[in-house]
Amino acid sequence: MSETEISTLGEFGLIDRLTRDFPLQNSSSKKGVGDDAAVLDYKDKEVLVTTDLLLEGIHFDVRYVPLKHLGYKAAVVNFSDIYAMNGTPRQITVSLGLSSRFTVEHVEALYSGIRLACERYGVDLVGGDTSASATGLVISITCIGEGEKGKIVYRSGAQPTDLLCVSGDLGAAYMGLQLLERENSVAAASGLPDFQPDFAGKEYILERQLKPEARKDIIEELNKAGIQPTSMMDVSDGLSSELLHICKASGVGCRVYEDKIPIDYQTACMAEEFNMNLVTAALNGGEDYELLFTVPLTDHDRVKALPGVSVIGYITKPELGAALVTRDGQELPLKAQGWNAFYSSETK
Amino acid sequence: MSETEISTLGEFGLIDRLTRDFPLQNSSSKKGVGDDAAVLDYKDKEVLVTTDLLLEGIHFDVRYVPLKHLGYKAAVVNFSDIYAMNGTPRQITVSLGLSSRFTVEHVEALYSGIRLACERYGVDLVGGDTSASATGLVISITCIGEGEKGKIVYRSGAQPTDLLCVSGDLGAAYMGLQLLERENSVAAASGLPDFQPDFAGKEYILERQLKPEARKDIIEELNKAGIQPTSMMDVSDGLSSELLHICKASGVGCRVYEDKIPIDYQTACMAEEFNMNLVTAALNGGEDYELLFTVPLTDHDRVKALPGVSVIGYITKPELGAALVTRDGQELPLKAQGWNAFYSSETK
């Protein structure tokens, strides 16, 4: 790979080079990159806005996360927030802070991942800001989407007796991160520059960590099945933390059955290898980007028929609190021990 | 000032505390902070989106920029981009990366500036992301606004014979920065912890650097006078750089008269004190956040009647290029020597 210092292109040259391969795909994108602001036209839809800030050393480690994957993930986690409102992502702005060790080729690799995500999900890049950084890589992405009036799903609509549902499986992204961190330590200890970690049989948990997908398919399935969730959010901080958000916003309690939480085989194997509590990993792991949602009890049969959706519990009156029902029938209060950037910076 | 470590509140506690004093002011803000995304309703308006990333050590120096001013400026520079499209800012999202030396009180000071800006300009805070940072302060703000269909002004509409206009005066923010940097060096050299810099008679250039305003008033005046600019942008990188943007986007050239460039008395005094070329400071200084725009020649009388607007030149055919006409009638090609974060990080 050739190495081109960013200062040879300058800020505007870099932006031109990075954004030229992003043709606009949506009729709502009237004007993208190249003016003081992007211009969007949403007609009679409602506009959804979400934003994420990713910082080197806190949210990612470039020693074991390829830049293309990092770009893909940074975009997809924002799309996930728009789907979690029952909306469709349409535009993103991407702001980057780049320290002097990043070359044009590095930034192009990052953007190739962003471009792949934009192509797959039909989203337009419409703006951003690119700057030098005194230390490390900073990625700030804002995603704008649209929702049908009256169809947007908030965290606040869950009602007692509603069924609690989650898509896919949980804990895999967290176990993937544990694996990456271990292999990175082993590689460092080996002292061999060409040390090759052995990831055979662990591809799924790695992919869940490095290249997560947003559950566009689940939103489409729910829509086709005529199911309008009463509340919804995506699982980014961990199931426990998200359940508490829904309970707080909706003014309800909940019961989640330990044996109903969907967990993949590779996640279970890895937890055993690391001697970790599997349910703790699934409850608190985070970064799964699955959809957690509630539906009225009357939708029971329809939601059970959906592939890739598990019913894991139900909503209760608020005075019953939020609790996990263990395999032996005990009730343990749920606590938000999810991934928290303010703790992780101190405890890692 | 008491000192509260951010980890005592956690991410969600911090967000609650920071955002509780931001009541929503716009009917287009349907749902603000507290879900996966904000929900906005723009009915039959067009949506404008702009974003800025500010990094400690590159864009600001907390040794001589009070955090409240920094918050105010970070918000206002985004509003300025929306006004520069002839739009009205309505919502912002604020993402922060905070290193461990920042306390809750520091972040509250920063937010008090953001809040003041939001109140003055009638803008709602509707979301964001708050995280630890391994090094320094990161501020990423995205602003969403609205524009009337058919009334949005791009950089690309300037036509030969159009008049080139600029609001306010130029170069003051740059000279304010020079003054702050000098006084900071003097303070450091003095070794006195209570060293008091002498800013008497220099309040204007300091305020232009520390607490710039967006020219909402000029947009309102233009609208009242029935003037629809053919092109417009705000002066953030410096007049030369912005003129070249308009010429490139519109496919035109321009002539700017040195003796028509509006410069304040304090800016001129400071340039003399620093033995700097005054016109260079006004052409390349940046951070003035004035509006640069073009109007048809037929609007000459109406635009001349506007307080706080100077006609500084005119648009030409593209083959004539972009040039400064000096006091003695020479034509010097304009060059973009504006403030560039990729150079400043290396040359400072």
Please give the average per-residue pLDDT across B140-146, as a whole number: 96
Q: Chain A partners of B104 at a C-beta cutoff of 8 Å? A: none
pLDDT of B256 reads: 98
Cα–Cα separations (whole angstroms), residue B65 to B74, B99, B112, B267: 12, 17, 14, 20
Return the SS3 of A284.
Answer: helix
**How many CB pairs lie under 8 A apart between chains A and B?**
237
pLDDT of A1 reads: 61
Query: Of A274-278, B193-197, B252-256, where does mean pLDDT reach its minimum?
Result: B193-197
Q: Could you give phi then psi for residue B277, rounded to 5 degrees? A: -70, 120
Of B252, B292, B298, the residue nearest B158 (C-alpha): B252
> What is the percentage of chain B residues whose pLDDT exceeds 90?
73
pLDDT of A199 reads: 86
Is residue B11 very low, low, confident or very high in pLDDT (cuts 50, 70, 90)? confident
pLDDT of A337 reads: 65
Instruction: State the helix-helix crossing angle for A203-210 and A265-273, rounded to 10 degrees.
Output: 100
Q: Give the C-alpha separation, A194 to B137, whole Å.
A: 36
Please give the average per-residue pLDDT across A61-81, as a whole number: 95
Query: Which domains does chain A carry?
Result: 6-147 (3.30.1330.10), 155-347 (3.90.650.10)
Q: Give the C-alpha separation, B110 to B66, whole Å.
A: 8
Contact by Cβ (8 Å): A123, A117: yes
Q: Give the C-alpha separation, A272 to B146, whole Å.
A: 54
Whether A215 has its CB under 8 Å from any CB of chain B: the answer is: no
Answer yes or no: do B85 and A340 touch at CB < 8 A.
no
pLDDT of B1 reads: 61
Q: Give the C-alpha separation, B13 to B290, whole Å.
A: 38
* Chain B residue with Cα closest to A52: B129
Whether B16 has its CB under 8 Å from any CB of chain A: the answer is: no
In this predicted complex, what is the ipTM?
0.90
Q: Output A346 or B235, whichever has higher pLDDT.
A: B235
Output the DSSP codes for B274-323. TT--HHHHHHH------EEEEE-GGGHHHHHTSTTEEEEEEEE-GGG-EE
Interface test with A, best of B4, B14, B28, B47 (most A CBs within 10 A): B47
Q: Chain A partners of B149 at a C-beta cutoff of 8 Å? A: 41
pLDDT digits (tens, 9 = 90+) for B242-276: 999 999 999 999 999 999 999 999 999 999 999 99
Whether A62 has its CB under 8 Å from any CB of chain B: the answer is: no
Contact by Cβ (8 Å): A111, A71: yes
**Radius of gyration of chain B from its Cα atoms, rounded to whole angstroms:** 21
Q: Give the C-alpha separation, A53 to A95, whole Å.
A: 9
Q: Give the C-alpha separation, B333 to B330, whole Å.
A: 10
Flag whether pLDDT at A18 surpasses 90. no
Flag whether pLDDT at A4 surpasses 90. no
Rounded to 10 degrees, the C-alpha dihedral B162/B163/B166/B168 comes to -150
Q: Give the C-alpha separation, B279 to B174, whole Å.
A: 12
Answer yes or no: do B342 and A140 touch at CB < 8 A.
no
pLDDT digits (tens, 9 = 90+) for A167-217: 999 999 999 999 999 988 888 888 887 778 878 899 999 999 999 999 999
Output the DSSP codes for A78-105. HHHHHHTTT-EEEEEEEEEEE-TT-BHH
Is residue B347 very low, low, confident or very high in pLDDT (cuts 50, 70, 90)? very low
Q: Output A109 or B343, whichever has higher pLDDT.
A: A109
pLDDT digits (tens, 9 = 90+) for A132-151: 998 899 999 999 999 998 99
Please give the average per-residue pLDDT across B320-328, as a whole number: 96
Of A34, A37, A44, the residue nearest A12 (C-alpha): A34
Is residue B345 very low, low, confident or very high in pLDDT (cuts 50, 70, 90)? very low
Flag whether pLDDT at B343 surpasses 50. no
pLDDT of A217 reads: 98
Q: Output B11 or A190, whichever has higher pLDDT.
A: A190
Query: Of A268-277, A317-326, B34-43, B220-229, where does mean pLDDT reach its minimum?
Result: B34-43
Is residue A9 very low, low, confident or very high in pLDDT (cuts 50, 70, 90)? confident
- The pair of three-digit structure tokens given for residue A82, joined into one six-digit string: 């728009």
